[in-house]
């Protein structure tokens, strides 16, 4: 069966990619100059014994190859090491960061899809009209704004009106009810999510527009039109359905990258997510944290690529490569 073949192939590729990613990830970090040990052991009157102890504690005294095996072995147990900076397990720190990032990114992506689909359909429907021109050009403009710049503009415009930093009103003592908490997070999420949505939606606008236009030019659509079917029906029944294929694939694919792409937004809005963890880890030279975050980001991309592959297969079984 060619279908099964395809799925096996893609799965094998995904697994191979994960392994390569882990390996690259390891070596990328071990060839870096400037050992974090110089920092950690930088306590006054630190004895050479202490420095050795610290190096040993973090496995930095072993050969690169041994460190690699140690790393692989630990990973199989879900152990990503201990953060140099906080001395806490990397995974537990990153898990929390990831939990903070996901809702913000999810809301932003959702908004971008909604705006993108709406403007894309509008553009395709009214091809060549002023509204098409405007919506396409605005989409391209938002698309070309540097993310961090757009975020700063949002701060200039909305500072004081909407919360500009953090994920919750942090100064709540006691335990808020679930509803209060949701409302609090929601308000804080508006600016970062909106920024994310604005930087992303143009992509959807353009892709929905062009794939719909492509369909509208196809023979069967022309036939439908000739048969006198109303424009609304043609758009909904044929064009839109066809446009779903690239759109859905794009959504799946981009999900993997947005988490990584939210770094700039998280830095500007002080959002305590994985992007900011990367940024903090870079500044503190916290190798295990950086390595863990990088691995998680890579794996999320691999995973969503795989999902996109499967979706693509599901939506268009002709594709067997």
Under rule CB under 8 A, residue 264 binds other proteins: yes
Residue written as tokens 């390569």? 20
Site for other proteins in 185-224 (CB under 8 A): 199, 203, 206-207, 210-211, 213-214
Question: For residue 41, what are the contacts with CB-CB under 8 A and spacing of at least 6?
Answer: 50, 51, 54, 55
Under rule CB under 8 A, residue 279 binds other proteins: yes
Question: Which residue in 112, 119, 195, 249 binds other proteins (CB under 8 A)?
Answer: 249
Residue pair 211/243 in contact by the 8 Å Cβ criterion: yes
Beta strands per DSSP E along 187-285: none
Two tokens, residue 241? 């359905």
Q: Which stretch binds other proteins (CB under 8 A): 68-76, 107-115, 225-233, 303-311?
A: 303-311
CB of 147 or CB of 193, closer to other proteins: 147
Task: Report the b/e string of 135-154 with b at 16+ CB within 10 A.
Answer: bbeebeebeeeebeebbeeb
Under rule CB under 8 A, residue 134 binds other proteins: no
Size of the site for other proteins (CB under 8 A): 105
Instruction: Give the C-alpha separation, 27 to 34, whole Å.
Output: 15
Question: Which residue in 12, 20, 72, 182 binds other proteins (CB under 8 A)?
Answer: 20
Instruction: Give the C-alpha separation, 304 to 12, whole Å.
Output: 15
Residues 39-78: x/- map of binding to other proteins (CB under 8 A)? Answer: x--xxxxxx-xxx-x---x---------------------
Under rule CB under 8 A, residue 8 binds other proteins: no
Q: Which residues pair with 42 in a beta bridge?
A: none
Distance of closest approach, residue 212 Cβ to other proteins, in angstroms: 10
CB of 137 or CB of 233, closer to other proteins: 137
Instruction: Give the C-alpha separation, 250 to 173, whole Å.
Output: 42
Distance of closest approach, residue 294 Cβ to other proteins, in angstroms: 5
């Amino acid at each position: 069966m060619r279908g099964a073949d395809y799925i096996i192939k893609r799965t094998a590729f995904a697994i191979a990619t994960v392994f390569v990613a882990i390996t690259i990830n390891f070596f990328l970090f071990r060839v870096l100059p400037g050992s974090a040990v110089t920092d950690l052991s930088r306590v006054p009157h630190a004895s050479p014994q202490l420095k050795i102890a610290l190096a040993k504690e973090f496995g930095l005294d072993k050969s690169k190859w041994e460190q690699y095996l140690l790393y692989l072995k630990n990973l199989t147990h879900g152990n990503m090491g201990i953060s140099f900076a906080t001395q806490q397990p990397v995974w537990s720190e990153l898990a929390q960061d990831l939990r903070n990032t996901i809702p913000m990114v999810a809301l932003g992506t959702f908004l971008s899809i909604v705006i993108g689909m709406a403007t894309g359909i509008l553009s395709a429907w009214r091809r060549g009209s002023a509204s098409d021109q405007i919506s396409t050009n605005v989409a391209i403009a938002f698309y070309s704004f540097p993310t961090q710049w757009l975020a700063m503009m949002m701060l200039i415009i909305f500072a004081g009106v909407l919360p500009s930093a953090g994920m919750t009103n942090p100064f709540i003592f006691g335990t808020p009810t679930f509803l209060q908490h949701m409302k609090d997070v929601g308000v804080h999420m508006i600016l970062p999510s909106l920024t994310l949505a604005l930087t992303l939606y143009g992509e959807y606008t353009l892709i929905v527009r062009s794939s719909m236009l492509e369909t509208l030019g196809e023979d069967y659509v022309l036939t439908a039109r000739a048969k006198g079917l109303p424009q609304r029906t043609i758009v909904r029944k044929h064009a839109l359905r066809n446009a779903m294929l690239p759109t859905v694939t794009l959504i799946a694919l981009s999900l993997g990258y947005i988490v990584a792409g939210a770094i700039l937004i998280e830095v500007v809005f002080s959002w305590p997510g994985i992007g900011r963890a990367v940024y903090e880890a870079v500044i503190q030279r916290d190798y295990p944290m950086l390595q863990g975050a990088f691995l998680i980001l890579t794996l999320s991309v691999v995973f969503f690529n795989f999902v996109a592959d499967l979706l693509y297969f599901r939506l268009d079984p002709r594709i067997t490569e």
